[in-house]
Amino acid sequence: MPGPGDRGRKKEKPRDAKGTLRRIIRYLYVYKWLVVIFLLLSFAANVGSLLGPRFAGAAIGVAEAGYRLGPGNVDMAAVKHYALLMLAAYALSSLLSFLVTVGMTRVGRRIAENMRRDVFDKLMRMPVGYFDRHQAGDIISRVSYDIDVVSTCLSADVVQILTCLVTVAGSFAMMCVISPPLVLCMLFTIPVSILFTRSMAKKTRPRYARRSAAYGAMNGFTEEMFTGQRTIQAYAHERAVSEDFRRINQEAAEAYREADGLGMTMGPTMGMISNFGLAAIGLGGSLLYMAGTVGLAQISSFVLYSRKFSGPINEISNISNEIFSALAAAERVFNLLDEQEEVKDTPGALRLMNCQGNVAANHVAFGYEPDRPVLKDLSLSALPGQTIAIVGPTGAGKTTIINLLMRFYDVNAGEIRVDSRDYRTYTMESLRRSYAMVLQDTWVFRGTIFDNIAYGHENADMASVVAAAKAARIHDYIMRLPQGYQTVITEDGGNISKGQKQLLTIARAMLYDTGMLILDEATSNVDTGTERQVQHAIRSLMTGRTSFVIAHRLSTVRNADRILVILNGDVVEQGTHEDLMAMRGVYYRLYASQYS
């Protein structure tokens, strides 16, 4: 996706705000009865708030009437009575508002929990290509920051807007009851406010969308740089990276400033419009009072109601900025939820049970982009228990073959067959469970060593884990650790070496009882001495399994049943090590370049 540094890009148009709002309401609908209760409480709180000015006006009216008869004729008991009613109304309103705020905050957090669950489940169903195209930081930003923005809006702003609408309607009704002529004095502010708000909405909504995208790009850059911190320091590239971050951070801040800077003008402008209305009420009220049409109590109540009328309008204009921001964030979340998922199982797909490991690829063509083929006309076959090595220069398409075998991507042409059936006729889960994998990019997670080795094997016991670790030649190292197999590995295995992580993943594959095995540079992170031990363990691992081995160190594939030499997406040579050396072709030159 474009980052914030993409200057000259086209302005983002406002998106489908109504459609996004409908989808947010679906999440709210799950808690519809709680929302209804809180809305009723909010309505009651607003009624209490609206009664306050009425009681205040009544108190002033009693005082005014008594004072006209003489300073000593004011009925203070009645004044105190109305004052206490006013205090009680405001106290009840505040209590109910507090309950509504607490309740809606919990509802908002539950909705955030549900949205995160849906997004995470969606990510688990996404094809590998999606993660190749999108930065991890941008995805994390959608799961955390964007959903938090939506949750905050639902827990606070939605109820506040509904409260404001009730207050505006109630205040307007009370003002009409008190003095219709005074209402005419402030009516001109309503169309002006509406037109201004609609005009600002068109300008601010796309800016908030750009702000969310800019923050996603910044998070993506940050995640990449933190992951590669050792490489950055090794190349003494800290200053250049800091300059890049400063530029991206500045552009993200500019996107924030453009959105919030424009949005912040709404409140003061709406306040100015409401002040014009208040001035008109003051002038009109003075004229009507001198004409004897209205009394002081009516004017006082009307002024209080006018403030209640204009105050929520100002609040709505301020809240609208947060709503536009939440809509932009929600659109990013829903765009992820709308992404095309991994290829579904075909109707009537079979479970691949007791896989024999008979694999054949017939005239396979594939490209990550339609106009840039990686594999052009690939054909290969592997009989059960055979070891097939795949070698070739960087970029020849070796890892692509593995991606296709695992069905991370579907072929563009041709077919791949497993146990004499097109592998698309099997369920995705059963096909992938038929492979054990040891990749060059090792992956371990925060947890015990036992948990990392037993990953994917639900019923693994300590004896089987220990046996796998011994076969992978890592048992002795584990036993030297303070808690042995219960030692906790930190995030991404930061407290163990790359070679040890590689051995852990080999032990994990050994524990996984499958008919097929994929080794992608499985010994790339171990030293020469350890490699000899690991090669012995791998030979035990490959026994009875159809194995596909990608290797740059050609010494590791000498004993393969067949070696495929890939060049520019085609198999240009194949045979045993001795056969290929005798050909004195591409394989011979690759081997000679390593072991001249």
State pLDDT tens for residues 161-175.
777 777 777 777 777
Cβ pair 560, 389 in contact under 8 A: yes
Percent of the chain topping pLDDT 70: 80
How far, in Å, are 33, 368, 464, 546 from residue 104 at the CA level? 12, 46, 50, 57
Question: Buried b / exposed e across 299-338, counting CB within 10 Å, b at 16+?
Answer: bbbbbbbbebbbbbbbbbbbbbbbbbbbbbbbbbbbebee
User: pLDDT-based confidence at 353, cuts 50/70/90?
Assistant: confident
Query: Counting beta carbons within 10 angstroms of the beta carbon of residue 19, is it exposed (0 to 12), middle (13 to 18) or buried (19 or more)?
Result: exposed
For the chain, residues classed under CATH 1.20.1560.10 are 108-337
User: pLDDT-based confidence at 12, cuts 50/70/90?
Assistant: very low
| Lowest-pLDDT range of 38-52, 180-194, 404-418 | 180-194
Closest Cα partner for 351 from 427, 251, 462? 427
pLDDT surpasses 50 at 1: no
Closest Cα partner for 406 from 416, 397, 396, 414? 416
User: pLDDT-based confidence at 530, cuts 50/70/90?
Assistant: low
Tokens 């970029």 correspond to what residue?
395
Residues of the chain by 3-state class (helix, strand, coil), percent to 5: 65, 10, 25
| Lowest-pLDDT range of 67-76, 336-345, 427-436 | 67-76
User: pLDDT-based confidence at 71, cuts 50/70/90?
Assistant: low
pLDDT for 15: 59
In this structure, the dihedral spanned by the alpha carbons of residues 393, 394, 398 and 400, taken in order and rounded to 10 degrees, is -150
CA dihedral for 333, 4, 340, 355, sign (positive or negative): negative
Phi, psi at residue 289, to the nearest 5°? -65, -45
Cβ pair 549, 390 in contact under 8 A: yes
Closest Cα partner for 74 from 57, 62, 61, 92? 62
pLDDT surpasses 80 at 36: yes
For the chain, residues classed under CATH 3.40.50.300 are 359-594
Of the two residues 523 and 116, the one the predictor is more confident about is 116
State pLDDT tens for residues 420-456.
888 888 888 888 888 888 877 777 778 888 888 888 7
| Cα atoms in the Cβ-side hemisphere of radius 13 Å centred on 9 | 12
Query: Counting beta carbons within 10 angstroms of the beta carbon of residue 194, is it exposed (0 to 12), middle (13 to 18) or buried (19 or more)?
Result: exposed
Closest Cα partner for 418 from 379, 383, 392, 456? 383
Please tell me the CATH code under which domain 108-337 is placed: 1.20.1560.10
CB neighbours (10 Å) of residue 123? Answer: 16
Most confident range, picked from 99-113, 285-299, 541-555: 99-113
In this structure, the dihedral spanned by the alpha carbons of residues 245, 249, 252 and 254, taken in order and rounded to 10 degrees, is -130
Of the two residues 92 and 497, the one the predictor is more confident about is 92
Q: What is the mean pLDDT of the chain?
A: 77
546-550 β-sheet, strand order: 435-438, 516-520, 546-550, 387-391, 562-567, 570-575
Of the two residues 505 and 224, the one the predictor is more confident about is 505
pLDDT surpasses 70 at 263: no
pLDDT surpasses 80 at 2: no
pLDDT surpasses 70 at 97: yes
pLDDT surpasses 50 at 528: yes
Helix 498-511 × helix 462-471 angle, to 10°? 120
Most confident range, picked from 146-160, 280-294, 468-482, 540-554: 468-482
CATH T-level assignment (fold) for domain 359-594: Rossmann fold (3.40.50)
The DSSP result for 143-155, as a single string, is: IIIIHHHHHHIII
| Lowest-pLDDT range of 21-35, 80-94, 143-157, 190-204 | 190-204
User: What integer is the mean pLDDT of 122-144?
Assistant: 79
State how far Cα 468 lies from the chain centre.
37
User: What integer is the mean pLDDT of 342-358?
Assistant: 82
State pLDDT tens for residues 460-470.
888 888 888 88
pLDDT for 11: 34
Q: Which amino acid is at 313?
A: I
pTM: 0.64
The DSSP result for 315-369, as a single string, is: HHHHHHHHHHHHHHHHHHHHHHHTS--SPPPPTTPBP--S----EEEEEEEE-SB
User: What integer is the mean pLDDT of 146-152?
Assistant: 84
Cβ pair 217, 4 in contact under 8 A: yes
Tokens 């207050």 correspond to what residue?
167
DSSP symbol at 556: G
- Rounded CA-CA distance 184/181 in Å is 5
Cβ pair 442, 448 in contact under 8 A: no
Tokens 């930061």 correspond to what residue?
494
- Rounded CA-CA distance 473/539 in Å is 13
- Rounded CA-CA distance 27/151 in Å is 11
In this structure, the dihedral spanned by the alpha carbons of residues 590, 591, 594 and 596, taken in order and rounded to 10 degrees, is -120
User: What integer is the mean pLDDT of 395-421?
Assistant: 86
User: pLDDT-based confidence at 4, cuts 50/70/90?
Assistant: very low
170 sits in which H/E element: helix 158-178
In this structure, the dihedral spanned by the alpha carbons of residues 329, 334, 336 and 342, taken in order and rounded to 10 degrees, is 170
